[in-house]
Structures are given as structure tokens and as C-alpha cells.
Amino acid sequence: MKSKDVRNNFLEFFKNKSHTIVSSAPMVIKDDPTLMFTNAGMNQFKEYFLGNGTPKSPRITDTQKCLRVSGKHNDLEEVGKDTYHHTMFEMLGNWSFGDYFKKEAIAWAWELLTEVYKIDKDILYVTVFEGNEAEGIPVDQEALNLWKEIIPEDRIIFGNKKDNFWEMGDQGPCGPSSEIHVDIRSAEEKAKVSGRELVNQDHPLVVEIWNLVFIQFNRKADGSLEKLPQQHVDTGMGFERLCMVLQDVKSNYDTDVFTPLIKEIEKITGTTYGNDEQVNIAVRVIADHIRAVAFAIADGQLPGNTGAGYVIRRILRRAIRYGFTFLNQKEPFISKLVGSLTDQMGEAFPELKSQRNLIENVIREEENSFLRTLDQGLVLLDQIVKETEGKTVSGKKAFELYDTYGFPIDLTALILEEQGLNLDEKEFEKELQKQKNRSRNASKVTSGDWEIVSEVENKGFIGYDHLDAEVKITRYRKVESKKEGELYQIVLDQTPFYPEGGGQIGDKGFLQSPDGEKVSVVDTRKENNLIIHLVKKLPKDVSVFFKAVVNSTERTKTAANHSATHLLHQGLRKILGTHVEQKGSMVQTDYLRFDFSHFSKVASEELKEVEDFVNARISENIPLVDRRAIPYQEAIESGAIALFGEKYGDTVRAVNFGESTELCGGTHVANTGDIWYFKIISEGAVAAGIRRIEAITSDAAKAYFTEQAEAYQEVKAVLKNAKDPVKAISNLQEENNELKKQIEVLLREKAKNLKGDLKNEIQEINGINFLAKKVDLDAGGIRDLSFQLGDEFDNLFLLFGTEQNGKALLSCFISKDLAKEKDLHAGKVVKDLGKYIQGGGGGQPFYATAGGRNPEGLNEALQKAIEFVK
RNA sequence: GGGGGAUUAGCUCAGCUGGCUAGAGCGUUUGGCUGGCAGCCAAAAGGUCAUCGGUUCGACUCCGAUAUUCUCCA
């Protein structure tokens, strides 16, 4: 069965069981602080399990693109070494939200596997949660009984809390799970050891394919469990593994999900998959990682050095590293695989197709920069090796190479090994651990349980129409972090406060109780579909009605920036072309930032055109057309631009200003005229193929122009109100250059004259040409003079003194030969004489200077100089 | 968010412990030679040593802040 059919059959099967098919959520997560990437099929439904939202249907099915780089069964460093772990994978799932439970979930899973996919019943095993006394959770008897009716008891295995009890995190919904495993070993192998022995033993051919989770508890902050009012089913089946079973191969990488990619890698690198284990690992690593990276970029996540971007960079660099070391690829090659990947998966995931150019560019650029890092690291490592005494290279040094210069540690180890050296790995680990602890401590957040204040219906955000409202606190909790200290998160029954999202920052303002107490709201965010208000202290009485007031001046400025962002987007597409796509946006109170795909620098004329375009729309006074809830399809058909990597519901909000239509949740001005004026401040690159524009509007633009005008007036005033200041300045510059040259000439002449005079004053003492004299030159002049005299006289000993800004300066020149011969050292001379001018100095044997704060002592110092040549 | 680096000529970099005439290679310009493979030879131009502040008689060098950038960790 082709992988495409495997996917379709799954979705069709559950559709026939009254499930609604939904599309995969983006792999990159935006409004959940505990998670960077979708790492399981359930992520996009988390809010439903938490009770913060209602699903559109109680039964849902989908295939979800997931990314896992850490966790109990997957560590990035392990991917590729075996045949069944991946960073990116697809998870097929079916869901029940308070609808059916264990009975149906188990029966349908069995039906699909054995009747649709026609997997031999005799190679399947199932696991059931054994219970945990310490936590007072009983055996999952219900699941056990259900399985007993379907499968012989000797193929049911009890699993412990680690394997068969699923938790989302330290807190929240959880419950027992039941896994289905499959044994695809040869008959011979099966005869030797029973598959039962190998379940959950990390055997590559006895693997878990489906996990059925029965969510029935809620874990509280103190660790205790309470029963949930509604029970849910959450299942996940690994798509790649399922394909392996159905295509009768022994490795995920031998399924048609991977073979086209592997063939392409063989072609590009001139290697063969299957002969050499190191090559095999490298090929698998690359085949796996290119998928993860390409999908992430398509979802809008570029490689970077913080957060999610850093994870993507690490994955990509790992692939480059394996290619570099084991496939001997010293030039960018991974970007060349994007075409093949797109051909293969572009149909199921159209974002790959439309983002293909960008994906290629970004990967190529990243490859180039990492190859440079490797080059630099090789040089540094060479140096470390040279400095190493004995056979063991310091772990601290290796850590520095890794931490500061980004040179991969396994490459260090490999190179050292080739040179017959070894690495102090313990020391390295110690350093790494230290660094990890530092980071962890700095970003630790502890949160308490939610305190429920009142159970009123949550009406959510009302801030499009209101900037203040009468509200009630529904719940609150305390959170503590090193950075922000102690804060309270408050949820209201309705709120005018806009939560940070869609690039727009969260509103600020205050809550006021009837007795006049004001609590200021420092920020507003969204977490799992709840709007959270951050306050420094709780009001005295949380149960009363409050007046919630948004800081309207800030909100107005932010709205102007947001609306201007839409017009900017429209203008860029109009003037640069429709390849321009939003790649990031930041709407703040005092400025806006817009990142977009574009292949080259935006010329200043183009910027001007864009600016003019936006300002033309502003002066047209176009009113806002705000359609709050229209069907997604309708919005798209009316020309709205949907962003890749955004999760949209069935109904969306469309924001129009004339021709500009965007799907947007942010706050806007009622009329473009309110933006007042739009001014681009800067344009630059953020990554390969991505440009960034920063701009200001309204008050900020006014302030900007005022400032510019003032600065201009000042310049003009300084130039005595010159008619053409630019010309006046360039005249000055020219004149200045001319004068500089003349001064140089004059100084040279002066020095020449001085030199002539001084030449006559040089006296011979003991065969040494000696002169000690006070001169009127600066340090540089003295230096030039000294060296010029040095060229003309052999055996020269010079000591010059001068006074500069009330400070004394001594400078001593001794011909190199003379210094050697008589064992003289100019540095010592000036240091010694420095005591007369209350200072010190030094230099090298033939030239040295000293300074001091007592010019009175200069004469004495000059008189004593003769002692050195006597 | 936390840590560690880097910022010196148009480019790639050297300049170790404060005093070194601030350098190299490539590139540029000029002149000369030359039938090739980065042609050869000679000369020149090009630097507020990222910015601001501090320590010091003296800072490219030490300290602090800022900016930009690389990198590791979360």
C-alpha cells in the first residue's frame, strides 16, 4: 500500500465513524509558553482538554506533522543511528471530546488495523496500564476487559507508569494508555524469542505503532489527581512506522516516504546507501533532517540563535556535519534536496511547494555559514592540539571551542582520535552541565494552581469596540520567574485588553475596584486560548466587579501601526511583486517592524514608492471594514491573504482598508486618516531571502519630523543660515582637506628646519652622538624627528622633552646597533628619568616614551640624560 | 532569557603580558615588463583600531556601558 493511500484510508475510516477531518496544525507553536513545536497530534486540541474551548465536533480525525528533538524516546543525537526514530514525523489520530471512550476506541483501532490495513492479528500485542500504588491509581481494568474479548490474553502486557500513563506536563489532564505493538521479525527470529519479551525493549522490529490515551484525570500543582467531569480519547499512530509494516520492509527509511529522498542524496553526493554503516547513518540523518527543516521553514520558522529557530538550526547543522564528515561534502548540498522533497510531498502539504524558493535559499545560506564556522574551528582546533602536552586534550578547551565558536564536539573527538589523541570528556560534560544549570536557573518559572473565583460564562475579548468595561475575575494564579519576579495572572469574564498576538503587543492599563483601589495591568497575553492579565499585586477583594480600563493613548498608537502594517504589506506586493509574503511582524506602540520574503535589497526609489503608496492610502481616508466572523473559504475567495504557519479556525476575522484584505485578529484605526503619516526608518536583511522594514506612524512620525527639522535648523544656524547647507558642508570638507594637507607640508618643513638646527647641536661623547633637548613638538612629531635623525646618524642617543597640556613627555631614541653594543635600553632610560617628572614609561630598546605630571622636572631629566652615555 | 566570543585598510585577518613609526595577504590605482596557468616587477593610495565613558603620565591593548554580529544553553 502506498503511503498516500495509508494516510487516506485512515482518515476515510474515521470519517465513516462520524469524525470530522481537520487539517494539520502548523508545526511551530505560537501561543503556548511550555512548547515550541507540535510534538504530538493532541497539541492543537489542548485547549479542549483543558476546558478552555469547545471543539467544532466531538469526534475529530487528522494527520499532524510533528517535531520531536528531545524526550524519553527521542534525542536528536540518536536520530539516524537506528531505522525508526525521526525528528519530524506524521501522527495519525482520532479524537473524542467527551464523546465515546475506551470501548469504541479499542474496537475501531482493531478493526482498522486488521480489516482495512489487513495486518495479521497474530503479530499484534497490546499493553495495558498496571496501576501505581504510590499514587493510588488502579489497574486499567476496563481496557483490560475490552482487550480480552479481542485478543488472546498472552498477548496482553502490563505496562508501568512510564510507558502506559500519559501526562501533558507537571499539571493538567492525564490518564492511562493502551498501546498496540507489532512484531515484524522473521519466523525464525520469532521462534527463538517470543515477541512478548521484546515489547517496549527498543527492538527495531518490535515496535509500538498506536497509542490510545484515555484522558480521565486532572493533575494538580501539588501532584494529586482528580477525576475529570468529561472523559476524552486521544490516539496517535506513527505514520512512517505504519507504512513500514504495510509495505513489508524492515526500516522506516525503506518505505516510499523516504526512498525518493535517499535516491536523490545518493545521486548528489555520489554515495551508495546500504553498504557502509557510517554512510548509512549519514544518509538517514540527512533524509530525516531535510524534512524537519523544510517543513519548519515553510511554517515560517527560520533558523536562528534563540528559541525555536535555534532548534531548527541545530537540526540543519547536524545534517551538514554528517554530510561533511561521512559523505565528504565540503560544499552546500542539502538545499539541492528541496526539489525532490517538494515533488514528493507538495501535494499533501502545499506550503512546501509555494515556499520552495525560500526554503532553498535559507538552507543554502545556513550551509555556507556553518561551513565557514567549521573552517574556523578546524584552525582553532589545530592550535589547541599544538598547545597540548601529553595525549589528553583539555575538556575545557574543547568546550570553549564548542560553546564560543560552535564547533561540534563529536567532530573534535573524531579529529583528535585520528591524531592519536583523546579528549577529556568528563571535563567537557562538567562544563556543559554548568552552562545548562546557569540557563535553567535564569529562566525558571513556577506557577501555582488556578484559584477559581466565579463560574461565569467567559465572553472573551470585547476590545474591538470597548476600551473599558465592567468585569469580574473568574480565576487567578501566582507565577514566579527569576526575570519578572512574582506576578499574578488574572482571567476575566470579558476583557477590553488585547492579548499579545499576531505580532501586536499586549495592552496595558488598570483594574479599578468600587472602593477606588487601582491595580495596574502590565501586560496581556494569551495562553491556551485564555486571555491572561499580568498584575504585580492582587486586589484586596477579588470577588467584586472591577472597571477594566485600557491605556487608550498607547492603544491608539499601536492601532495606527497595525493598520499601517497592512497598507505596507499591500504596497510591497504592489510595487515589488506578489512573491512578497509576510514572514514576521511586530507591532509596538512606538514603531512597527515587518519581515517579508524578497530576493534582493529594496532600492531606495522602491522604498520611496512604497512609502508614497501607503501615504496615498492614508490621505484617501479609507474607512475600516471589519468582518468579525466570516467563513474562512469566503475570506480567501474575497482575496484575503492567509499566512503560512498560522492556525485559522473555520470562521475568521477579515480586516479591510479598501483593497487591502487581511485575516487578522489585531486592533485597528477606524479610518486610515488616523494613521496621520507613514515613514520608513530602515530596511535591511534578516536572513537569506528575507528583508525587514522598520517604520513609524502618527505621533512617532511627528516627533521624527520635528527632530529632523530641528537638527536641520541647527546645522543651518551653525552655517550662518547658508542657502544651500549641503553645498556649504561639502565646501568646508574640501577646504578642510586642503588645509590638512597644507599643515602637513608646513609641519614637515618645520621639522626639517628644526632637524637642521638640532643636527648642529649633536655632540659626540665617548663615540656616541648625543643630544638631550626640550623641543616644541607633539609626540608624533618627536617620533618622526627621532627616526629621521636616526637614519642620518649612527650611534645616536636622543632624549627629547616636551610639555603638552600641562603634562611632561620624554622620548628616548637609541640607534639599534648602539643599544645592542652598549647594552642600553631606551625603556629603562625613560623609566629612570621618569621620576623627575613624576611619571613612568617604557618601550622597546630603541625607542621609548614616558609621561609625567610635573613639567618642572623636564630640565633636570634632560640634564641627567648624559649620565647614560658616560 | 542566561553565558562566552568578535568588531583593526574595500575583503580575510595578525597585532601575546599597556609605550612597537598600526601590519600581512587579496583587491584598487599608477608606472614598467610580458603571447597563457590568479602573469611579473616597482610604487602609491587607503585606518576617528565599532561608539561612548573610565583607569593611567600614556589605551588598538585594561575596565564599564551601548550597538552590531557569531556561538552555546534554556
Whether residues A79 and A222 share a domain: the answer is yes
pLDDT bucket at A730, cuts 50 / 70 / 90: low
Nucleotide nearest residue A435, measured CA to C1': B73
Each residue of A194-220: b (16+ CB within 10 Å) or e? ebeebbbeebebbbbbbbbbbbbbbbe
User: CATH no. for residue A827?
Assistant: 3.10.310.40
CA of A810: nucleotide with nearest C1': B57
Are A789 and A695 within one domain?
no
Whether residue A726 lies inside any domain: the answer is no
Q: How confident is the model at residue A742 (pLDDT cuts 50, 70, 90)?
A: low
Residue nearest to nucleotide B4 (CA to C1'): A404
Whether residue A580 lies inside any domain: the answer is yes
Q: What residues of A form the annotated binding site? A: 562, 566, 664, 668
pLDDT value at A816 more than 80: no
Determine the pLDDT at residue A72: 54
**Average pLDDT in the A643-659 region?**
81
Residue A618 and residue A565 share a domain: yes
Query: Is A305's CB less than 7 Å from nucleic acid strand B?
Result: yes
Q: Classify residue A737 as exposed, middle or buried by CB count within 10 Å of its CB (0-12, 13-18, 19+).
A: exposed
Nearest nucleotide relative to A483: CA against C1':
B1
For residue range A25-51, list pLDDT tens digits in order: 888 877 676 777 888 888 888 888 877
Same domain assignment for residues A172 and A100: yes
Same domain for A693 and A816, yes or no, is: no
Percent of chain A with pLDDT over 90: 30
Residue A575's domain is classified under what CATH number? Answer: 3.30.980.10
Domain limit, last residue, from A339, A371, A403: A371
Please report, for residues A357, A437, A500, A653, A685, the alpha-carbon distance to residue A594 in angstroms, rounded to integers and kept in the order given: 20, 35, 16, 21, 11
State residue A728's pLDDT score.
Answer: 72
Strand B and A403 CB separated by under 7 Å: yes
Query: Averaged over A280-295, what is the pLDDT?
Result: 93
What is the distance in angstroms measured between the alpha-carbon CA of A389 and the sugar C1' of B58? 39
Q: For the residues A290-306, what does the mean pLDDT come to?
A: 85
A787 touches strand B (CB under 7 A): yes
Per residue in A157-174, pLDDT tens?
A: 999 988 899 887 777 888
Task: Out of A425, A440, A455, pick the residue that ends a domain.
Answer: A440
* Averaged pLDDT for residues A325-338: 88
The distance (Å) linking the CA of A866 with the C1' of B56 is: 29
Provide the ipTM.
0.81
Residue of A673 and A847 predicted with greater confidence:
A673
Write the CA distances from A256 to A346, A643, A851, integer angstroms: 15, 30, 79
Which nucleotide lies at the shortest CA–C1' distance from A853?
A: B57
CATH number at residue A495: 2.40.30.130
- Known binding residues of A for Zn(2+) are 562, 566, 664, 668
| Domain match, A398 and A528 both | no
Residues A770, A686 share a domain: no
Q: Say how far A729 CA is from B27 C1', in Å.
A: 31
Within-domain flag for A36 = yes
Strand B contact with A853 (CB < 7 A): yes
Q: Which domain holds residue A675?
A: 559-706
The whole-number pLDDT of residue A647 equals: 74
pLDDT over threshold 60, residue A73:
no
Rounded mean pLDDT, A512-522 = 90
Instruction: Check whether residue A436 and residue A513 sit in a common domain.
Output: no
Residue A677 has pLDDT above 70, yes or no: yes
Given A205, A222, A257, which residue is the final one in a domain? A257
Same domain, A360 and A393: no
Q: Which nucleotides in chain B have some atom under 7 angstroms from a protein Cβ?
A: 1-5, 13, 18-21, 57-58, 70-74
The percent of residues above 70 in pLDDT, for chain A, comes to 95
The total number of structural domains that make up chain A: 6
Nearest nucleotide (CA of A444 to C1'):
B74
Residue bearing the bigger pLDDT, A354 or A288: A288
Confidence of residue A180 (pLDDT cuts 50, 70, 90): very high
Position A670 scores a pLDDT of 92
Q: Give A115-136 pLDDT, tens digit per residue.
A: 999 999 999 999 999 988 888 8
Please give the residue that has the higher pLDDT: either A235 or A747.
A235
- Report which of A304, A322, A424 is spatially closest to residue A369, judged by C-alpha positions: A304
Whether residue A652 contacts residue A620, with contact meaning beta carbons closer than 8 Å, is answered with no
pLDDT reading at A144 higher than 70: yes
Asked whether residue A429 falls in the same domain as residue A463, the answer is no
CB-strand contact A694/B, under 7 Å = no
The gap between A484 CA and B13 C1' (Å) is 42
Q: Which residue has the higher pLDDT, A62 or A707?
A: A62
Rounded CA–C1' distance between A327 and B37, in angstroms: 31
For residue A693, what pLDDT band results from cuts at 50, 70 and 90?
Answer: confident
Q: Taking residues A834-861, report their average pLDDT.
A: 82
A578 touches strand B (CB under 7 A): no
Say which DSSP state A725 is in: H
In-domain check, residue A737: no
Query: Does nucleic acid strand B have an atom less than 7 angstroms from the CB of A434?
Result: no
Question: Which has the minimum average pLDDT: A550-559, A607-616, A700-709?
Answer: A700-709
Q: Can you give the pLDDT at residue A212?
A: 94
The nt closest to A852 (CA vs C1′) is: B57
pLDDT digits (tens, 9 = 90+) for A396-422: 888 888 888 888 888 888 888 888 888
Mean pLDDT for the stretch of residues A577-604: 80
Q: How far is the CA of A273 from the C1' of B73 (A)?
A: 35
Inform me whether the pLDDT recorded for A92 exceeds 90.
Answer: yes
Q: How many other C-beta atoms can be found within 10 angstroms of the C-beta atom of residue A764?
A: 10
Q: Is the CB of A440 under 7 A from strand B?
A: yes
Whether CB of A402 is under 7 Å from strand B: the answer is yes
Gap from A778 CA to B49 C1', Å: 21
In a domain, A379, yes or no: no
pLDDT score for A732: 67
Same domain, A366 and A402: no
Does residue A735 sit within a domain? Answer: no
C-alpha dihedral sign at A62, A65, A71, A77: positive
User: Comparing A58-72, A249-263, A478-492, A736-750, which segment has the lowest mean pLDDT?
Assistant: A736-750
- Is pLDDT above 90 for A13? yes
**String of DSSP letters for A809-849:** EEEEEE-HHHHHHTT--HHHHHHHHGGGGTEEEEEETTEEE
Q: How far is the CA of A741 from the C1' of B30 (A)?
A: 21
- Give, in Å, how far the C1' of B40 lies from the CA of A722: 54
Query: pLDDT averaged over chain A?
Result: 85
Question: How many angstroms is C1' of B51 away from CA of A725?
Answer: 26
| A71 has a pLDDT exceeding 70 | no
Q: If pLDDT is split at 50, 70 and 90, which confidence band does A813 have?
A: confident
**In-domain check, residue A266:** yes
Residue A844, nucleotide of least CA–C1' distance? B20
Determine whether A296 is exposed, middle or buried from the number of CB atoms within 10 Å of its CB (0-12, 13-18, 19+): buried
The reply to whether A748 falls in a domain is: no
Torsion, CA A12, CA A18, CA A24, CA A25, rounded to 10:
180
Question: What pLDDT is attached to residue A61?
Answer: 94
Domain CATH for A24: 3.30.930.10
- The C1' atom of B16 and the CA atom of A388 lie apart, in whole Å, by 18
Strand B close residues, chain A 358-377, CB < 7 angstroms: 369-370, 373, 376
Question: Where would I find the beta strands (DSSP E) of A496-622?
Answer: 509-512, 518-527, 530-535, 545-550, 582-587, 592-597
Decide: CB of A760 under 7 A of nucleic strand B: no
Rounded Cα distance, A235 and A101, in Å: 11
Nearest nucleotide, C1' to the C-alpha of A826? B19
Q: Are A97 and A184 found together in one domain? A: yes
Strand B reaches within 7 A of the A840 CB? yes
Tally the C-alpha atoms within 13 A of residue A511's C-alpha that lie toward its C-beta. 31
**Average pLDDT value for residue range A724-753:** 66
Is a pLDDT exceeding 70 seen at residue A737?
no
